[in-house]
Amino acid sequence: LKKLKSNEWHVYLTARDPAAGQAAVKSLETEGLHPKFHQLDIVNKESVESLKQYILQTYGGLEILVNNAGIAFKMASTVSFAEQAATTIKTNTIATVDVCLEFLPLLRTDGRLVNLSSFVSLFALQKVSDQIYQTIQSEMNMDGLLKIVNNFVKMAIDGTYTEHGWPSENSYGVSKMFLSKATQILGKQYENDKRNLIITSVDPGFVDTDMTSHKGHLTIQQGAETPVFAALLPATEKTKFNG
């Protein structure tokens, strides 16, 4: 927010829980920042539509969309891998892609879309079978990717995912691997769009947050540097970073 200069931008913070979101806004206000708040649960289509219509009616569009919503089960979680995989993929991949597809038409000229991925996605990619690796690295459309995504969830539920070449107990890494690929597909899909959009996925690093159980060595401010860099990329950098 400091780099975006929220007095010059209308910056919105979203959260599933309005109370938590408003508390975050108040905390930022003590630092002299003035973000606005709107409720958003990305796995709830009505919630996504509500925000979309609010943006359309209030502003007619937007300049930057940063997708930071995500979920990761703790290592000590007793939730079955099947449930972890279904929940994690639904949030980190499918719902995030849905938000992209809903809001991309609202982006104005020189708009920016930034998806937060993770270095853990590379660990997952390195551990898949050669066949899956080649498939993920190949060109495909979004329908093709979502078919792979849904098949992974089915295999996780029936317990055959490792037999088919997927890494063991790493649904978070797989979900972010899928998100990175989805971002690449969107970048290719919109590369000739007249609005000159730049669509990127970034790794914020190992940040000290609730998700990492505060084990990360980077501060939240340091973790925000790469997403903000991507959000403010000049139009001349499109060929280097798009997708």
| Residues with a known catalytic role | 172
Q: Which residues, listed in sequence order, are joined to residue 116 by a DSSP beta bridge?
A: 202
Closest by Cα among 166, 178, 155 to 95: 178
Q: Which residues contact 156 (CB under 8 A, 6 or more apart)?
A: 81, 82, 85, 86, 166, 171
- In degrees and rounded to multiples of 5, residue 66 shows phi and psi of -115, 120
Provide DSSP, 123-150.
HHHHHS-HHHHHHHHS---HHHHHHHHH
Q: Which residues contact 140 (CB under 8 A, 6 or more apart)?
A: 181, 185
Sequence length of the chain is: 243
Cα 64 from Cα 55, distance rounded (Å): 12
